[in-house]
Amino acid sequence: MSEKEIIKDRELENVSGGEGRIVNTGDYRDAAIRSYPGLNAPVVASLPNGTMANTTGNFMQADGRNWAEIDYPVRGWIKGSILGYAW
């Protein structure tokens, strides 16, 4: 097991499970994390490209987009299209 894999496991050990993903907005912008699914939902945080995120397994559609709930590194909702597989 590589050091990178060990760090990921350690970082996620207290997260409620789901699937590890990596944020990939496709450009220089950060990803907006919203309080609930939808473009009008308040932004509670932003995550830069390359950030590890953990999905909870809850997915919804709103405003013509698919949304995924995350619980690491912050709890909220992110557009599903910008989550790539991390591990």
What is the per-residue pLDDT for 4? 44
Residue-level length of the chain: 87
For domain 3-85, give the CATH number.
2.30.30.40
Rounded Cα distance between 21 and 83, Å, is 6
Q: Is 85 in contact with 3 (CB distance < 8 Å)?
A: no
Rounded Cα distance between 52 and 23, Å, is 7
User: Is a pLDDT exceeding 80 seen at residue 53?
Assistant: yes
| Domains of the chain by residue range | 3-85
State the pLDDT confidence band at 3, using cuts at 50, 70 and 90: very low
State pLDDT tens for residues 18-52.
Answer: 788 999 999 989 999 999 999 999 999 999 999 99
> Which residue in the block uniquely carries the two structure tokens 């932004």?
43
Question: What's this model's pTM, rounded to 2 decimal places?
Answer: 0.78
